[in-house]
Structures are given as C-alpha cells and as structure tokens.
A and B are shown apart, each in its own frame.
Chain A
C-alpha cells in the first residue's frame, strides 16, 4: 500500500514523459534551481537589513512603527494559504474538480488578503513619516518587504491563471505538475516570510534610536 502510494506520488520518476538524464521533470528541477538562487537573493537583503540595523540617524525607528499583532495575523494568513495550496494540489491530483478549484481560489484569495495587509502597513508607515528615503531602516525595510510582496503578487497572478485553466479544463490530474511547480514557488514565498517575520519584526521590533541619534517625535 505504502509503496504504491510513493510510486504514484513520484510518478515522474517512472513516467516516460520525463525521459531526462536525471529521470526528473526538467521544469520542476528548474523551479528548485530558481528557488535555490532566490534563497541567496533574499539572504543578501535580509543580511543588509541587519547590517544597517540601529544605524538610522533620524526616526521613525522600528519601535515607532512596527505593529506586531497585525503582522502576526498577516503571517497566519500566509501560512494558511500554504495549507490551502497543498490541499489544492492534493485534490487536483486526485481529480476532484470542485475541491481542487475551491482550494486554488482560497490560496489566491489569502494571498490577496496578505497583500492588502502589506499595502495598509506601507500606507500607515508613510503617514507616520517613514518612506524608503527617510533613513536606513526605511530603505532596507521597504526594499526587503517590497520585494517579498512582489513575489506574492506574481504568485497570486500565477494562481489565478491556474484557476482559469482548471475551469477551462487545461489543468487536470494528469498535468497537476503545473500546480505543483506553482505550489513550490508559493511555499517558498511563505518560508521567506517566516524568516522576515522573525528577523525584521520580532527580533528588531524593539529597536529605538541608536546612541547619539534623536528620538523620533511624531508630528502627525
């Protein structure tokens, strides 16, 4: 039973469609290679954020603007979108049209909700005087979270195309690999946010004005 399950799950290894030197789908391998490069891409931005931590000469500083409860909710939303994604893949692979469609839609919806949280957060920060040009915190924060948000946006668009394809009948159980590859991307965006939430929000959220710098006084 279990061996049958793994054989079916790793059908790509036995499928003549994947007659490659590795026996694996080239497209899936390409996605993993892309994600590998993206690890380093985000790694440099996160490191840059930490390198410039506590180096802003003017406010607002992290303790003045970061809202941990709200960001915890948006983090939860993104985590649940990952759950929706694996459920979508499970049902599409199984050939269950209704649940497959539902969970792809839920994944995209939760991605949009996360983006709305991010837009509201950015708007709030700008209203409080923090822009990418204000200080080093603003520059590194907006670049890092903005690039992550761009990744989420691309993922949402990709999912909406797949949802359309599922309605049209071009996404089926026999080519569920299309959804699996999109899923890998989506989960990667999720794990990047797990790291960003910890490092940018939880670890540095209590950072105030560094020694010698004036405290931030909100004039709004």
Chain B
C-alpha cells in the first residue's frame, strides 16, 4: 500500500517539496498512465494538486475537490438570485462554472487524470462527437427551423 501520510503526499513528490519540482515536464519521465489533460501552465497547476500527476488523489484531495464543487454550486445559485449581471454575462458565468465542475468530477472522481490514456481518448472523442451533435442540432434549428 502507498504511504498514507496525506500531508506528506500533498507537499512532496518523490521526496522533493513542490517548490522543488522539475521546471518542465521534459525534465522528468512521463508517468505511466497519465492522462492527456492540460499543458503546460494548466498541467503545472494540476501537478500541484495531484502530487505532480504521479500518485492518485488522497482522501484529502477528494475533500478539496468536493469543497470546490460545493462553492461553485453555491456561487451559481447566489449569482442567479442577484440581478447585477445581464442575461448573456450570467449565462457565460454559469456555463464557465459548469465546465469547471464537469472537469473536476471527470478528472478526479472518475480518475481520468490518473488513469490510462486510452480511457481519456475514448471519453474525450465521444465528448467531441456529442458536442458536435449538440451544435449541429442547434444550428439546424437556427437556419432551417423545425416548423
């Protein structure tokens, strides 16, 4: 079993502090099974949260993700109830929050960030196809209508 010292796992990677991680990913071997999401600044931020993308999230990591999901859900409700934003601005923010929540659940709870790349490609390509179908339907309706 991996060492279950979550504080140690959060702050270090292979014995090095997070402040002492390799500057670029070319400097370290690509960890086996690492997902394809994010590069390069996004990947570095990801690495900080996920112990440099090598080991899987700990219980503490899951709690952090759940807290972020909760805060975003609360913000969605709060922003919806105040009238400070126009409809398009509000919609853009809601879709942005939704996207972040979606990515967090897929990457951490569904383990796609840490799992074999093959799974990520299957899901990612289906997402592209699904979004394509979605947009095609909307464009079809906009240009031709459905009666």
Contacts and interface: CB of A to CB of B under 8 A. Distances in A.
Interface residues of B, number: 59
A70 to B, nearest CB: 10
Contact of B123 (A32, A47, A75, A203): A32
A35 B105 CA distance: 14
Contact of B133 (A35, A44, A85): A44
Interface string A92-134: 0010000000000000000000000000000000000000000
A190 B98 CA distance: 12
Contact of B122 (A32, A43, A85): A32
* Interface of B: prevailing SS: helix
Interface in A11-30: 13, 22, 24, 28-29
Interface string B91-121: 1001101100110011011100011101100
A98 to B, nearest CB: 15
A65 interface: no
Contacts, number: 160
Contact of A190 (B54, B97, B105, B141): B105
Interface in A199-220: 202-203, 205-206
A87 B116 contact: no
Please name the 8 residue pairs, one residue from A and one from B, whose CB atoms are nearest each other, closest first. Answer: A36-B126, A5-B55, A5-B2, A43-B130, A198-B98, A47-B137, A2-B54, A39-B130
Interface of A: 1-6, 8-10, 13, 22, 24, 28-29, 32-33, 35-37, 39-40, 42-44, 46-48, 50-52, 68-69, 72, 75-76, 79-80, 82-83, 85-87, 90, 94, 183-184, 187-188, 190-191, 194-195, 197-198, 202-203, 205-206
